[in-house]
């Protein structure tokens, strides 16, 4: 989308109420949570609009993007079913204006206390005295742990399926007898002993 646009309506910098409703719908379709009421989505739309005011480029991109979104679906975006609306968003996923919406939403939407309530998150604990005495180990959503010994017998693993060497290989022991040096098996060079190190 270029600015100024060919059509005067696309040069508009003021978002209409319909454009704001479209923005709310975009956020709900892109971040669908049926249990979350409209409030957080509407506040997120206002946050995006406020963020766009800090940059003329983002303001123009957002305004033009919302005004032309209906062309993607062939009808009013607000009237599309969720599946068709999602298909429209998938087609514009690489556009800068949608990237701005997505990025701002990811960073701010889940920081809304009303969203926390839906997900069961109580928020930070420091101001409430921490988690220690506030049920941090209250696992009432899990079965009670079994603390007594089990009645079933332990499974016997049995002997290993291979032999464990009890001493060094014969060729290593022969080398030790003939040289009087303590041999070390060199797994990398195949020698019976490691030569004294030298500085190069």
Q: Is residue 156 part of a domain?
A: no
Q: Are 165 and 159 in contact (CB under 8 A)?
A: no
Q: Is residue 84 part of a domain?
A: yes
pLDDT score for 10: 44
Task: Indicate yes or no: pTM above 0.85.
Answer: no
Range of the domain at 55: 18-118
pLDDT per position as a tens digit, 151-186: 777 777 777 676 666 666 777 677 667 766 655 555
pLDDT score for 104: 94
Per-residue pLDDT of the chain (200 residues; tens, 9 = 90+): 444 445 444 445 567 888 899 999 999 999 999 999 999 999 999 999 998 888 888 888 888 888 888 777 678 899 999 999 999 999 999 988 899 999 999 999 999 999 999 998 888 888 877 777 776 666 676 777 666 767 777 777 777 676 666 666 777 677 667 766 655 555 444 444 445 555 54
Q: Is residue 174 part of a domain?
A: no
Question: For residue 28, what are its two tokens?
Answer: 């709900």
Q: Is residue 138 part of a domain?
A: no
pLDDT score for 63: 85
Torsion of CA 88, 89, 92, 97, to 10 degrees: 130
Q: Is residue 36 part of a domain?
A: yes
Question: For residue 57, what are its two tokens?
Answer: 């480029």
Contacts of 90 (CB under 8 A, 6+ apart): none
Q: Is residue 89 part of a domain?
A: yes
Q: Are 98 and 89 in contact (CB under 8 A)?
A: yes
Q: Three-state SS for 200? A: coil
Distance of alpha carbon 93 from alpha carbon 12, whole angstroms: 23
Q: Is residue 143 part of a domain?
A: no
Q: Is residue 192 part of a domain?
A: no
Indicate the number of domains in the chain.
Answer: 1
């Amino acid at each position: 989308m270029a600015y100024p646009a060919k059509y005067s309506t696309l040069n508009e910098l003021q978002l209409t109420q319909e454009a704001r409703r479209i923005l709310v719908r975009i956020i709900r379709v892109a971040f669908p949570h049926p249990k979350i009421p409209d409030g957080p989505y509407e506040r997120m739309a206002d946050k995006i609009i406020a963020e766009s005011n800090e940059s003329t480029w983002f303001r123009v991109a957002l305004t033009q993007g919302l005004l032309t979104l209906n062309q993607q679906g062939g009808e009013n975006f607000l009237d599309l079913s969720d599946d068709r609306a999602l298909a429209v968003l998938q087609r514009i996923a690489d556009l800068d204006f949608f990237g701005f919406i997505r990025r701002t939403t990811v960073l701010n939407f889940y920081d809304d206390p009303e969203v926390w309530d839906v997900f069961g998150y109580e928020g930070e604990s420091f101001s409430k005295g921490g988690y220690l005495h506030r049920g941090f180990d209250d696992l009432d959503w899990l079965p009670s742990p079994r603390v007594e010994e089990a009645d079933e017998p332990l499974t016997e693993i049995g002997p290993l399926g291979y032999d464990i060497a009890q001493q060094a290989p014969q060729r290593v022991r022969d080398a030790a007898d003939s040289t009087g040096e303590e041999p070390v098996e060199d797994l990398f060079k195949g020698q019976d002993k490691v030569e004294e190190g030298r500085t190069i």
